[in-house]
């Protein structure tokens, strides 16, 4: 009985100690992130490089990639079509494994007759009029957008950033950006620019890896199922696009379309619900 008050105090102290330690441990990741404001104020020359970007950093990176794409492909001024693509896009996006990136998903139509679609980090998804035209119905358009949403959800764009970007901080002092802006901001700017270039090159030219494309196909099919679209639309649009000889976006540059169809053959079976007449009607009314 005499020991009870001491035991209570001991327990409370132990608890406080554990919780205090937990608080310290929880703060460590924040403390090693690049600290541009502090670095500027203190004149620190070295920044802690982190391979892991936060959601907000990914968002600003994605804006840069989208701005580069939109410099080559004009944005469609067809508000009705843009709204429709957003409606289909948001429908599939909310069924993805990452429904809420930092500022949400944004879908837009590009004025180009070449079938193409692009997923930029952070949730910017661009699709050409040519791609919409290549789709036979809303479900196929949903398949294209679901595939791109999956790339965003998997953060595939960030994987495109050269590993060297995270180790070159010390060597960027002599670059044009670093000379122009100086100090920590110049170093960050150089890394920002290099990262945008890396992602842009992958999205537009090289395409994602075989594994990333196949995973995006599988995830896209699952999204279609959850959203209520026909999962077989993924196979159908891949077939349609391969016969048109397009490249980039959902088509990628590799792997071979036939391999990708085999990859999703089992999970992308035709469902029995058939095509909702309302979906067919609204797609036909807006198809370019």
Partner 1 sequence: MESAKKLGKLPARCLVLGLALIWAFPTLGLAQTFRMVQSQQQLYAGPNFGAEIVGTVPGEVEVMVLQQSGDWYQVDYQGKKGWLPQQAFPVGKKLDLSTLLKGRAVPTTRTDEVALAGKGFTPEVEAGYRQKNPQLNYAAVDTIEQFKLPPVALQAFIREGGLQP
Does residue 287 bind partner 1 (CB under 8 A)? Answer: no
Per-residue binder mask for partner 1 (CB under 8 A), 237-276, x = binder:
------------------------------------x--x
Q: Which is nearer to partner 1, 71 or 272 (CB)?
A: 71
- What is the nearest approach in angstroms of partner 1 to the Cβ of residue 7? 6
Stretch that binds partner 1, among 144-152, 189-197, 202-210, 261-269 (CB under 8 A): 189-197
- What is the nearest approach in angstroms of partner 1 to the Cβ of residue 254? 29
Does residue 210 bind partner 1 (CB under 8 A)? Answer: no
Residues 79-118 that bind partner 1 (CB under 8 A): 82-83, 86-87, 90-91, 94-95, 98-104, 106-108
Residues 2-61 that bind partner 1 (CB under 8 A): 4, 7-8, 11-12, 15, 18-20, 22-23, 26, 30, 33-38, 47, 50, 53-57, 59-61
Structure tokens at 20: 């205090």
Q: Which residues pair with 110 in a beta bridge?
A: 75, 128
Residues 169-188 that bind partner 1 (CB under 8 A): 177, 180-181, 185, 188
Residue selected from 118, 130, 138, 147 as contacting partner 1 according to rule CB under 8 A? 138
Does residue 228 bind partner 1 (CB under 8 A)? Answer: yes
Q: Which is nearer to partner 1, 227 or 236 (CB)?
A: 227
Structure tokens at 128: 């050409």
C-beta of residue 70 within 8 angstroms of C-beta of residue 34: no
Q: Which is nearer to partner 1, 108 or 241 (CB)?
A: 108
Q: What is the rounded distance in angstroms from the CA atom of residue 267 to the CA atom of residue 246?
A: 25
Residue selected from 67, 170, 205, 211 as contacting partner 1 according to rule CB under 8 A? 67
Residue selected from 28, 80, 266, 278 as contacting partner 1 according to rule CB under 8 A? 278
Q: Which is nearer to partner 1, 23 or 174 (CB)?
A: 23
Structure tokens at 251: 């088509």
C-beta of residue 215 within 8 angstroms of C-beta of residue 264: no
Does residue 124 bind partner 1 (CB under 8 A)? Answer: yes
């Amino acid at each position: 009985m005499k020991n009870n008050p001491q035991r209570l105090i001991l327990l409370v102290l132990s608890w406080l100690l554990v919780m205090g330690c937990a608080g310290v441990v929880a703060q460590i990741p924040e403390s090693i992130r690049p600290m541009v404001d502090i670095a500027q104020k203190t004149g620190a020359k070295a920044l802690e490089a982190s391979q892991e970007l936060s959601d907000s950093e990914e968002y600003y990176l994605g804006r840069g990639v989208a701005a580069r794409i939109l410099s080559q492909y004009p944005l469609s001024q067809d508000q009705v079509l843009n709204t429709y693509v957003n409606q289909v896009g948001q429908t599939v996006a909310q069924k993805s494994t990452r429904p809420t990136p930092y500022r949400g998903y944004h879908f837009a139509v590009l004025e180009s007759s070449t079938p193409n679609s692009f997923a930029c980090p952070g949730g910017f998804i661009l699709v050409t009029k040519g791609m919409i035209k290549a789709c036979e119905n809303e479900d196929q358009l949903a398949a294209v957008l679901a595939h791109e949403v999956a790339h965003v959800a998997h953060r595939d764009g960030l994987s495109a950033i050269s590993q060297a970007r995270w180790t070159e901080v010390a060597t960027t002092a002599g670059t044009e950006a670093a000379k122009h802006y100086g100090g920590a901001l110049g170093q960050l700017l150089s890394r920002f620019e290099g990262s945008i270039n890396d992602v842009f090159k992958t999205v537009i030219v090289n395409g994602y890896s075989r594994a990333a494309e196949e995973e995006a196909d599988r995830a896209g099919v699952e999204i279609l199922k959850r959203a209520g679209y026909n999962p077989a639309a993924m196979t159908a649009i891949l077939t349609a696009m391969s016969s048109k000889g397009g490249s980039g976006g959902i088509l990628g540059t590799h792997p071979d379309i036939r391999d990708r169809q085999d990859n999703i053959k089992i999970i992308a079976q035709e469902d029995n619900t058939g095509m909702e007449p309302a979906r067919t009607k609204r797609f036909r009314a807006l198809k370019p």
